[in-house]
Amino acid sequence: MKKRRRPTVAELLAQKGQRQLSMLRVETFDEASAAQQAGIDLLSVPPALLGPQLREAASECFLIPGLEYGDLVTPEDYLRAAFQALRCGADAVYCAASMTIVRRLRDEGIPVCGHCGLIPSQATWTGGFKAVGRTASSALFVWRQVQALEAAGAFAAEIEVVPERVARLICERTRMLMIAMGSGVGGDAQYLFATDVLGSNRAHVPRHAKVYRNFAGEHDRLQAERIAAFGEFGRCGERRLPGESASGRYFRAGARRVQAGIG
């Protein structure tokens, strides 16, 4: 596969409306490496995964670690974490905090990806974990979220669990890169979690997730093979190990020499 050059924020924005990008949430170096080799454009990553090893595994992908809402509180907390992420190889940061904090990050030249629609950390304000934007007033609420993020300087926003038609209308009316999760093909990028794509998620699988493989089943098969192999090893004590007779003879001869030397 031809080596790609990692895009800049300006280049990503220039591609808006030209082709739909792909984005995955990855949590291991193997997933990051596989995503790069598969041609995935954007990666959401845990901040703890950042560093030279990740950058080497996904040198061509645009990395967006999350600044965890609630773990950070003040604008200074967010600034410190964002600069640390950039030093460790991030290309931008995800932030679901207030517009004041988004604006503060942008004022320092830090590329920010915001969030609109269903925001998990703030779901109580929109009725829980369900679609947002199904009514005219709710769709207008999402549009206002987008306008606020754009005014604060965000270059992108995740638009989560919003009706596809609403997501498309919003995407066409904003300069930001809109990353759709559970919003159909209405965004500039399609976003899924690697655990869902691979079928390794044993917890709740969202209705909008797409499963392409059965890694959970494969893990169960490998675990059964582990148990069988360990069991075979454990039962070795019930019989002679291969070559035990010869090694036993050498051991007994050596033991006699030691005993003779001791007297």
Strand partners, 65: 45
Query: Residue 86: enclosing H or E segment and its boundaries?
Result: helix 75-87
Per-residue three-class SS string for 126-185: HCCCCCCCCCHHHHHHHHHHHHHHHHHCCCEEEEECCCHHHHHHHHHCCCCEEEEECCCC
CA distances from residue 65 to 83, 102, 144, 161 in whole angstroms, order as listed: 12, 15, 25, 21
Q: Which of 56, 150, 160, 164 is catalytic?
A: 160
Task: Establish whether 160 is a catalytic residue.
Answer: yes
Q: Which of 5, 6, 16 is nearest to 150 (CA)?
A: 16
In single-letter form, the type of residue at position 172 comes to E
Which amino acids are annotated catalytic? 160
